[in-house]
Structure 1
Amino acid sequence: MIENSGSKLSISKQCRLLSISRSSFYYEESGESALNLELMRIIDEQFMMTPDFGSRQMTKLINRYGYNIGRKRVRRLMKKMGIAAVYQKPKTSNPHPEHKTYPYLLRGLDINRPNQVWCSDITYIPMRRGFLYLVAIMDWYSRKVLSWRLSNSLDSDFCVAALEEALEKYGTPEIFNTDQGSQFTSYEFTQTLKDAGVRISMDGKGRWMDNVMIERIWRTLKYSFVYLHAFDNGSL
């Protein structure tokens, strides 16, 4: 970790240099037991292979591994990880009942150039003694990851930080598409897009396939990097 000079400003600079949120800078082990962390890792790896698995199928699979646990626990862990079977609803976090959602703008659209459409998604990252959440901003046409951030909570701050970095480095897209997770429907996130003059598009029910490109990035990242290492914290 970069040496801490003791001031809040230096901590913020360190977070930017490490591409992590302030919450990740102070990362501590989560409150989950070692068993639950192991179960979450199994769920995550299986979900990469079978994203149509709901809590019922995931529970049966885990029981076959020799873990005598019930569906209620699996359902809770999946919710904490921010994942759900793709046939039920878009993955990532749950929508916020008080947040405004936006119409889906990509139906029939010919996406043929960079900065025409950007998208974003959140995934679960297992650590040696806990876990973090990773958000990425991606250009739809080029498949280039424009920015990313890690956080130990599913608040909107780390998503906004990633968005602001991408806008600063790569300019302004015409459309920004996400699911209806509470991080992306938050006032802070949507207002950042509005201030930049970006049109907001959100996946509706049954539009989970629109996240396929970024899901492929998650799969590659996890099988080629995350699952091969046991990281202690977010300073990767």
Structure 2
Amino acid sequence: MTTTRLFFTDEFKREAVALLESSGRPLEHVAKELGIQPSMLRTWRRRVSGSAGPAQLPTKQAPAPLAAGDQSAEIARLKRELDRVQMERDILKKTGEHFLGASEMRFRIIEDCRDEYPVRLLCDALGVSSSGYYAWRTRPESPRKAANRQLLDDIRRLHADHRERYGAPRIHAALRAQGRTVSRGRVERLMHRHGLRAQRPRAFRVCTTDSRHALPITPNLLDRNFAPTAPNKVWLTDITYVPTDEGWLYVAVVLDLFSRKAVGWAMRDHLRTELPLAALTMALQCQQPAPGLLHHSGRGCQYASADYRKALKNHDITQSMSRKGNCWDNAPMESLFGSLKSELVHHHRYATRENAKRDLFAYIEGYYNRQRLHSAIGYRTPEQAELQAA
């Protein structure tokens, strides 16, 4: 049995060292997150420090203070939130009999909120007596309730470990992977009851490729056949954007359709052909695919350029392109970018492109490829899918 020697590009090494320096975490933890040996990361850090010096590595910056207009908007938002809470409390007092049901559920709500509000105020709002609540609270815990409490602790731990990116389906899959025999419906009920949910995506997209050109266009050979039988048979690629205070940061990614692993990526401040070509080069160097690979992309001028087509031809790669204006022809790629935006980008404001690069590198290499369970591959991580197919 032969083992494939891992290859890492210079960009990967620089981003790994920058992530180590900016995170403040132990070297061993960062190395484990990226799936590399601590000695490798230690060597990379020594080389980067010797050539560029620690002063050139990006550091975290404090968030900029809110401007006067932003402060007024924030105060207005808080007032609206207070009015909404007051309205919900009034509705709760008037219609509690209809949607709260038995006293048991009301007592649970009081128990969950007792650290934030006085018990008497909660009892008055929910229409129950304080004595009834305390009598319920001192009853012996049933086996079912004890099991639910332990399960809820495990759910909350997984939810926090994945930075609130997991909903009930992935939480359930993670529990099953840990040997817990629990139904998905039970997980859904507990999460819904205690307000645990996955971060919601925002419906907003800007096109980053220009298909209005006279360059050669190849037919759609993939034809939405998103089920290859092995790794490195079909690669998808596309470009997305990340806003920063310095301007856009553009991100090109190459995705292996079988394992859903991001096998190549590049981040630049421009949309020239060099950007996707750098991502393709990383993928080729790291994966070393056999001839006959199918490469699918949109119709952007970057992918139709002479330099890009030459690189594909040199490695005996067949090119395929989506139909005009049809994002479904590259749906798995859109799914990756949707996860990246909803789970990371939309929850941060980046002062510089370098700050954004650190987070994107950690998400792609440390989380998406090695920790995140993907429903399309049987709730496995891309790394697990790739290793199990070897």
Q: Give me the TM-score of the superposition, normalised by structure 1.
A: 0.61
Which structure 2 residues correspond to residues 31-42 of structure 1 after superposition, within 5 A? none
Percent identity of paired positions between Structure 1 and Structure 2: 27
Distance 2:261 2:11 in 1: 25
**Shift, 1:98, TM fit:** 3.2
- Does 2:109 correspond to 1:112? no
- Does 2:235 correspond to 1:129? no
Could you report, residue by residue, the CA deviation over 1:85-131 in whole angstroms, capped at 9, with x for unpaired residues? Answer: xxxxxxx4112523111111113755222111001011110113322
Distance 2:317 2:212 in 1: 22
Structure with greater strand share of residues: 1
- Work out whether residues 96 and 185 of structure 1, in 8 Å CA contact, stay in contact via their aligned partners in 2: no
- Does 2:344 correspond to 1:213? no
Instruction: Indicate how the Cα distance of structure 1 residues 132 and 108 shifts in structure 2: closer, same or farther if over 3 A, else same.
Output: closer
Instruction: Indicate how the Cα distance of structure 1 residues 198 and 13 shifts in structure 2: closer, same or farther if over 3 A, else same.
Output: closer
Runs of 5+ consecutive residues of structure 1 not aligned to the other structure: 1-11, 20-24, 26-46, 52-80, 84-91
Determine helix, strand or coil for the equivalent of 2:353: coil
Structure 1 residue aligned with 2:353: 233
Structure 2 residue aligned with 1:156: 273
Distance 2:316 2:294 in 1: 9
What code does the residue aligned with 1:158 have?
A: L
**Shift, 1:221, TM fit:** 1.1
- Work out whether residues 118 and 140 of structure 1, in 8 Å CA contact, stay in contact via their aligned partners in 2: yes
Could you report, residue by residue, the CA deviation over 1:31-86 in whole angstroms, capped at 9, with x for unpaired residues? Answer: xxxxxxxxxxxxxxxx95266xxxxxxxxxxxxxxxxxxxxxxxxxxxxx5x2xxx
- Does 2:211 correspond to 1:95? yes
Q: Give me the TM-score of the superposition, normalised by structure 2.
A: 0.38
The equivalent position to 1:190 in structure 2, one of 288, 306, 309, is 309
Distance 2:211 2:13 in 1: 28
- Work out whether residues 133 and 154 of structure 1, in 8 Å CA contact, stay in contact via their aligned partners in 2: yes
Structure 2 residue aligned with 1:17: 14
Instruction: Indicate how the Cα distance of structure 1 residues 217 and 113 shifts in structure 2: closer, same or farther if over 3 A, else same.
Output: same
Structure with greater helix share of residues: 2
Instruction: Indicate how the Cα distance of structure 1 residues 14 and 48 shifts in structure 2: closer, same or farther if over 3 A, else same.
Output: same
**Shift, 1:182, TM fit:** 0.7
**Shift, 1:222, TM fit:** 1.5
Instruction: Indicate how the Cα distance of structure 1 residues 191 and 215 shifts in structure 2: closer, same or farther if over 3 A, else same.
Output: same
- Work out whether residues 231 and 258 of structure 2, in 8 Å CA contact, stay in contact via their aligned partners in 1: yes
Which protein, 1 or 2, shows the higher relative CO under an 8 Å CA cutoff with sep ≥ 6? 1
Structure 2 residue aligned with 1:54: none
Distance 2:339 2:311 in 1: 30
Structure 1 residue aligned with 2:80: none
- Work out whether residues 132 and 152 of structure 1, in 8 Å CA contact, stay in contact via their aligned partners in 2: yes
**Shift, 1:180, TM fit:** 0.5
For the aligned residue pairs, the C-alpha RMSD in angstroms reads 2.8
Structure 2 residue aligned with 1:177: 296
Distance 2:325 2:273 in 1: 24
Distance 2:324 2:11 in 1: 39
- Work out whether residues 118 and 139 of structure 1, in 8 Å CA contact, stay in contact via their aligned partners in 2: yes
**Shift, 1:145, TM fit:** 0.5
Runs of 5+ consecutive residues of structure 2 not aligned to the other structure: 1-8, 17-55, 57-200, 359-390
Instruction: Indicate how the Cα distance of structure 1 residues 97 and 142 shifts in structure 2: closer, same or farther if over 3 A, else same.
Output: same
Distance 1:180 1:223 in 2: 25
Determine helix, strand or coil for the equivalent of 1:49: coil
Distance 1:206 1:225 in 2: 27
- Work out whether residues 235 and 257 of structure 2, in 8 Å CA contact, stay in contact via their aligned partners in 1: yes
**Shift, 1:219, TM fit:** 1.6
- Work out whether residues 295 and 320 of structure 2, in 8 Å CA contact, stay in contact via their aligned partners in 1: yes
What code does the residue aligned with 1:138 have?
A: L
Structure 2 residue aligned with 1:143: 260
Instruction: Indicate how the Cα distance of structure 1 residues 217 and 15 shifts in structure 2: closer, same or farther if over 3 A, else same.
Output: closer
Aligned residues: 162
Determine helix, strand or coil for the equivalent of 1:218: helix
Instruction: Indicate how the Cα distance of structure 1 residues 15 and 112 shifts in structure 2: closer, same or farther if over 3 A, else same.
Output: closer
